[in-house]
Amino acid sequence: MLQRDTIAVQKDQILDSIHYAERIQAAILPPDKHLSDHLSDHFLLFKPRDIVSGDFYWTLEKNGKLMVAVADCTGHGVPGAFLSMLGIASMNEIVNRSKELKPDKILEQLREILIKSLHQTGTRGEAQDGIEIALCVIDLKKNTLEYSGANRPLYIIRDGAVQIIRPDRMPIGIYEQETVPFTFHALELKKGDRLYLFSDGYVDQLGGPLRKTFRVKKFRKLLVGMQDQSMDAQKQILLKNLEEWQGDVEQIDDILVMGIRI
């Protein structure tokens, strides 16, 4: 067999393995039904850079509370996907065994699991694998929201303005050899509030005439400008804007945006 043919066969085998990993990841990610059963107006924009993704979303309902999260793992492709599957499995385990469903405590337990699973010690030169995440616990009967974040914010659009609920500036994983508690935020929700959780893929995408990043400020302006549209329409606007901005530039990272109207 020619070397060229051998390389082609090996490439096909690798792609087959990655597509199999894609099916496993798709099976682990929660179905959209988890959201649609509780939220009549929402969208999920999920656009992996490669076949599998280092971004993930997570939803679970327990004791009358709906938990939703958007997360961004170190890397993309296969390495990021492995970390995302560890994150999803760990969060399911934490919530299923816990009586307390506070987002800060969930993130602290997730950090413990990740540090232990990846054998992180914080020594110099060690790989800085981790997860950035925005986690919300929503009580739809009481119209309350609890949020904690690791490097990923929560945006709320209310009365035409964006409220930014800022995350802690640290990832899920080892961080400067310290174990700092995550901040707990409790908020009252109003009917018509729009909630947005997102990874950094959309705002970091290169494009435009100067091939620069899209940037957070422009992203916020886009959200405000389309706030009166349905969530389905907002998803289409985001996709169209991304396509126009990106042009012929390659997608540089996984992209994930979740929108919820209360």
At the topology level of CATH, where does 32-261 sit?
Answer: Phosphatase 2c; domain 1 (3.60.40)
Encoded tokens for 123 = 């020594």
- Compute the C-alpha angle 106/25/136, nearest 5°: 30
Distances (CA, A) of 106 to 42, 98, 109: 24, 9, 5
Q: Distance between CA 134 and CA 107 in Å, rounded?
A: 9
Residue 47 has pLDDT above 70, yes or no: yes
Specify the DSSP class assigned to residue 17: H
CA 137-155-90 angle, 5° bins: 40
pLDDT tens string 197-248: 999 999 999 999 999 999 999 999 999 999 999 999 999 999 999 999 999 9
pLDDT of residue 108: 96
Cα distance between residue 57 and residue 247, in whole Å? 27
Q: What average pLDDT does range 31-50 have in this prediction?
A: 89
Identify the pLDDT of residue 258: 98
Name the residue ranges covered by the structural domains of the chain: 32-261
Mean pLDDT of the chain, nearest integer: 91
pLDDT of 93-121, one tens digit each?
A: 999 998 889 999 999 999 999 999 988 87
